[in-house]
Amino acid sequence: MTVLHLADEGEAADLAAFLARLIHYDRAAAVRLQVSGTALAVFGRPPSFEVLAVRAARLAKPYESGLDDSLDVTVSAGELLESLDDTAAAVTVPAAVTGPPWAGLLPPRGGWRPEPGLPEPAAVRATVAEAVAEFRSRTQELAADRRTRAELDRIGREIWSRPLGDSGLPVRAAHAAQALGFLRPARAAAQDEEPLGLYSSGAWLRLRTPYGSIAVRRAGLGALDVSVR
């Protein structure tokens, strides 16, 4: 039985919230866990957004299994959440599951470079809110015979594929960040605003927030620069 000891109760609570949000979108969600030293990375893919979400957590001590100080396994998100003890800041790693295809194709670990063009956090939030309102308005205006899954998906793809400012990052990445708790409401004081960052590595773009990251593949680059682990 493998037990991971998180740095504190706050890390445990944040991880629990992330897992709960993933399960909200997919009750059968799987997550890939990668541990190296005292760093835990949890990868998930909410099906509605077509992105990879990454939640990092600090461990109180390195994972140890004999002479191996790393862990890489795909497990059920629901079972992982059930095994998480907030008060003890510990989580028991469930049995491995057969991972979905995305779990074998992760963004690279290194080589990330800053990218320009990302709007300020307030503008990012405003763009997401406007996109949500537009989607709701356009779908509600559809006649009953046109309110099909195919038409809803078409409208969604049109709206969520638009770029954020001049960044090339699709709006769906920011929408996913908000839905998963990575892009939180603005604080009352402007000076307390948390920074956002945009980075690229090969075919990937990554939106980094203080609470987690969203990674997407840039359009038109096919299957290049995929890291298979």
**Is residue 228 scored above 70 in pLDDT?**
no
| pLDDT for residue 179 | 94
pLDDT single digits (tens) 174-183:
999 999 999 9
Domains and CATH numbers, the chain: 2-106 (3.10.150), 113-228 (no CATH)
Provide the pairing of β-strand 52-58 with 39-44.
antiparallel
**Is residue 78 scored above 90 in pLDDT?**
yes
For residue 92, CA distances in Å to 38, 80, 135 come to: 16, 7, 40
pLDDT bin (cut points 50, 70, 90) of residue 97 is very high
User: pTM value?
Assistant: 0.88
pLDDT bin (cut points 50, 70, 90) of residue 226 is very low
Sort residue 194 into left (φ over 0), alpha (ψ -120 to 50) or beta: beta
| pLDDT for residue 68 | 64
